Amino acid sequence: MTNAFNPLANLNSLVEAAVAVQDVDMTETGTGGGAFEDVLLPKGEYFGHFVEYVEYGKRVPTNNGKPTGKPAVLNTKVCFVVYTPDGGKKRIRSLPMPVFNDPRSNFKKLFDRLNCAGDIQHAAQKLGTAWVVPVEQYTSKAGKVSNIIDYSLLQPLPKFNPQTGEPITIPELNLDDVKVFLWNNPTKETWDSLFIEGTRDDGKSKNFIQEDIMQAADFEGSPLQQMLTGGIPAPESLAPVVAAAPSAPTAPQAPAAPAAPTAPVAPVPPAA
C-alpha cells in the first residue's frame, strides 16, 4: 500500500526550481516500500529502479577525517532498488557524493549514464526509471564487505533480454521506495517523507537522514531552515505569495476649536 504523497507527481516543477539556482551545471563537464533483503549480492548485473535522490547540503571536504581546506560543496546520496533472481529486492544506497561535474567524480559518472539520452538537466529527473544495475562488492578498511554500484556501467533497461530474446519484466515500482529532497527547493512533503520514527536499541534516534541533513555547513539561513522555523510560507503551493495591501492610515483627528473668550462685564455706575 502506498502513501498518499506521490513524489513523482510534481517532480519536474521541483527540479526546475532547483536547477535555476544550482551551483553546478551537470550537463557540462568540469575540469576538476516492501521488505528488503539484507544480504550480500554476488557481483553481477541486476535489474532495478532508481528510487532515491536526497541532497544533504554543503559539506566540508575531508581526508581521513581531517578538513582538506577546500570549500564546502553540495553532497547527495542516491539509491537503487535491485531485484534478485529469487524474487527478493535489495536497496543499495551510495555514500555521500560531492556534486561535481569533474569527469573523474562518481556523481558525474552517474549523471552522464542517467543522461545517456541527453534529456535531463538534473539527476532527480530520472527517479522511478528502470536500469540494468552493475553491482560490485566493496571491502572497507574495517574489513566490512558491502555492495556498491559501478555508476559508469549503468545501462537503461532494454525491452528484451539480449541473451534469450525474451521480454524483460521487473516488479512494478513501489512509490513508497521513492525519495527526493532538493536542498534549494525543499517542500514539506519531501521533507516529511524522510522521517524515520523510533529509536535503536542503544537509544539513538532512527531518524538519521533528517538529522544528518540539518548538520549541513550552510544550514543556517537555508531554505530548509527557514521552512522549519516558519521563516517562509508553507511550500505546498509554488505560487508566489502576494503581500496584503497596507491598510490606509487613520486620518488625524481635527483639534477642537478653542473656546470663545467671555465678554467683560460692564462696571456698575456709582450711585448719584
Percent of the chain with pLDDT over 70: 72
Q: How far does Cα 76 stand from its chain's mean position?
A: 8
**CB-based burial of residue 248 (10 Å sphere; 0-12 exposed, 13-18 middle, 19+ buried)?**
exposed
**DSSP label at 202?**
T
Give the pLDDT confidence score for residue 64 in this predicted structure: 82
DSSP per residue, 132-168: EEEEEEEE-TTS-EEEEE-GGG-EEPPSB-TTT-PBP
* 186-244 per-position pLDDT tens digit: 999 999 999 999 999 999 999 999 999 999 999 999 999 999 998 654 444 333 333 44
The sign of the CA dihedral 53, 57, 61, 63 is negative
CB 96 within 8 A of CB 56: yes
Give the pLDDT confidence score for residue 271 in this predicted structure: 57
112's grid cell: 552522464
**First and final C-alpha spacing in the chain:** 120
CB 153 within 8 A of CB 132: no
Q: Summarize the chain as % helix, strand, coil (round to 5).
A: 15, 25, 60
Amino acid at 182: L
Contacts 24+ apart (CB under 8 A), 147-153: 147/40, 147/41, 147/90, 147/92, 148/92, 148/94, 149/80, 149/92, 149/94, 151/106, 151/109, 151/110, 151/113, 152/109, 152/113, 153/113
| Length of the chain as a residue count | 272
Helices of type H across the chain: 11-19, 106-114, 188-192, 208-213, 223-228
Given a cut of 80, is residue 269 above it in pLDDT?
Answer: no
Q: Which of 100, 94, 31 is nearest to 71 (CA)?
A: 100
**pTM value?**
0.72
Interval 60-81 mean pLDDT? 92
Say how far apart CA 115 and CA 125 lie, in whole Å: 9
Interval 260-269 mean pLDDT? 54
CB 75 within 8 A of CB 59: yes
Given a cut of 70, is residue 265 above it in pLDDT?
Answer: no
Give the pLDDT confidence score for residue 32 in this predicted structure: 40
Give the pLDDT confidence score for residue 185 in this predicted structure: 94
* 8-55 per-position pLDDT tens digit: 776 766 666 655 555 555 455 444 445 566 789 999 999 999 999 999
Given a cut of 70, is residue 121 above it in pLDDT?
Answer: yes
